[in-house]
Chains A and B, each alone.
Chain A
Amino acid sequence: MSTKPRIRLPDNARIGEVIEIKTLIAHPMESGNRRGNDGSLIPRLLLHTFTAKFADREVFRATLHTGTAANPFISFFIKVPGPGEFEFTWIEDGGAQVVERQALKVT
């Protein structure tokens, strides 16, 4: 998981506004059903959970399974409660995590 995930927040937001957050992360999302060139099964390795916290409170969660495409793209919404920082976490099978933080400019 070497490339930084992409996160798209609006440039600024008002309190009470419902805003869209887009996330994109590089990951093969190996289902465990694919075979390598030597014919052996490539072991399953998924990002199984994505969470979004805003101002330390979880606002959105996704569990991802083999039916999720590689390089997962997730777009979701939140209603802006006030100023704060987002914390996005992706958790891989085996426990490795990618954490990204981004502040939201609230006017």
Chain B
Amino acid sequence: MKIIRKNVCAIALAFASSLAGAAQAQQKSDAIEHELETYRSMLKSDPWSNPGMLDVDRGETLWKTPGGSNHVSLEGCDLGLGPGKVDGAFAALPRYFGDADRVMDVEARILWCMEKLQGFERAELLTHPHPGPGMPVKDLGAIATYIAYRSNGRSFAAAFNHRKEKEMLALGEALFFRRSGPMDFACSTCHGDSGKRIRLQPLPLFSKPDEARKIVGAWPAYRVSTAHVMTMQHRIYDCFWQMRLPEVELGSDVSVALISYLVKQAEGGEISIPGMKR
């Protein structure tokens, strides 16, 4: 009896101290999370000082300056609201474009305009379209950052009315949950639950509109770790690389489909570009 009591006491004591230890660890980790939030909010506190604004400026110059073999500016480019109409265009993308007979996100559309209006070589634009660490975002990405910036303060409101827009959206949702590749990963493998992290990086649950609304509107974002702006197409390209899936082509149906799904999930969420990320 004494032995059992002693063991029960020992177990109870061990349990109590592990709970206390666990509670202390939880307190410490909450404190750490709080301090990390201090770091993040100090970085974001002055939007003017976001280095991504330099790419917004560059994108504006590129939009307005004649370029390509046709030596014209992009001011004739129709982003969905009419040629050259920039304010609010990003908030209504992705959408179907009759002239291309395709649904396009902002980068796919800029790619199309750079090729068809300005006469740039499509193959060149698609080769290494994203910057390496320490390199600035490429011209197409800078233009996309500028266009997105001109929808700041608006909410995501892509209509997804057209038949092809609906198909693209359905494809995006299917792809988000579809496991494939050598690791059998889907987007949902990492982004399929609330409150998960990889190291210090919180993983938003995109199938939950609440979470999507807080996150999607921050892309394109300036990434501190690579000292450049990362666009949404680049972000998806990088996710695919991390999942060991084949390279995603800039503006491909796969990329536009996934962006459509994310934007739909973030419907009503505020656009605030450029974001500021680790």
A–B direct contact (CB < 8 Å): yes
Residues of A within 8 A of B (CB): 2-6, 8, 22, 24-26, 28, 30, 34, 37, 42, 69-71, 73, 75
Contact between chains at B134 and A71 (CB < 8 Å)? no
Q: Which residue of A lies closest to B142 (CB)?
A: A3
Distance from A32 Cβ to chain B, minimum over Cβ atoms (Å): 12
For the complex, give the distance between the alpha carbons of A58 and B136 in Å. 31
Q: A24-B54, A25-B54, A28-B227 are in contact. List 8 more A-B contacts (CB 8 A).
A: A3-B58, A3-B136, A4-B57, A5-B54, A22-B46, A24-B53, A34-B134, A42-B134
Residues in B neighbouring A73, C-beta threshold 8 A: 49, 51
Contact between chains at B48 and A6 (CB < 8 Å)? yes
For the complex, give the distance between the alpha carbons of A73 and B132 in Å. 22
Contact between chains at A26 and B136 (CB < 8 Å)? yes
Residues in B neighbouring A22, C-beta threshold 8 A: 46, 48-49
Residues in B neighbouring A71, C-beta threshold 8 A: 51, 54, 227
Distance from A37 Cβ to chain B, minimum over Cβ atoms (Å): 7
Interface pairs (11), CB distance under 8 Å: A3-B54, A3-B58, A3-B136, A6-B48, A22-B48, A22-B49, A24-B51, A28-B227, A30-B134, A34-B134, A71-B227
Within 8 A of A (CB), among B50-65: 51, 53-55, 57-58
In this complex, the interface size class of chain B, counting residues with CB under 8 Å from chain A, is 10 to 19
Q: Which residue of B lies closest to A28 (CB)?
A: B134
For the complex, give the distance between the alpha carbons of A28 and B228 in Å. 9
Residues in A neighbouring B227, C-beta threshold 8 A: 28, 69-71
Q: Which residue of A lies closest to B224 (CB)?
A: A69
Contact between chains at A37 and B132 (CB < 8 Å)? yes
Residues in B neighbouring A42, C-beta threshold 8 A: 134
For the complex, give the distance between the alpha carbons of A30 and B134 in Å. 8
Q: Which residue of A lies closest to B59 (CB)?
A: A3
For the complex, give the distance between the alpha carbons of A101 and B200 in Å. 42
Q: Which residue of B lies closest to A72 (CB)?
A: B51
Residues in B neighbouring A70, C-beta threshold 8 A: 51, 134, 227
Tell which of A25, A26, A42 has the most Cβ of chain B within 10 Å: A26
Within 8 Å by CB of A6, from B54, B132, B136, lies B54
For the complex, give the distance between the alpha carbons of A7 and B138 in Å. 23
Residues in A neighbouring B58, C-beta threshold 8 A: 2-3
Within 8 Å by CB of A8, from B48, B54, B133, B136, lies B48
Distance from A9 Cβ to chain B, minimum over Cβ atoms (Å): 12
Residues in A neighbouring B136, C-beta threshold 8 A: 3, 26
Residues in B neighbouring A2, C-beta threshold 8 A: 58
Residues in B neighbouring A5, C-beta threshold 8 A: 54
Known: A22-B48, A28-B227, A70-B227. A6 touches B134 (CB 8 A): no
For the complex, give the distance between the alpha carbons of A6 and B51 in Å. 9
Contact between chains at B49 and A24 (CB < 8 Å)? yes
Distance from B143 Cβ to chain A, minimum over Cβ atoms (Å): 13
For the complex, give the distance between the alpha carbons of A37 and B132 in Å. 9
Residues in A neighbouring B51, C-beta threshold 8 A: 24, 26, 70-71, 73
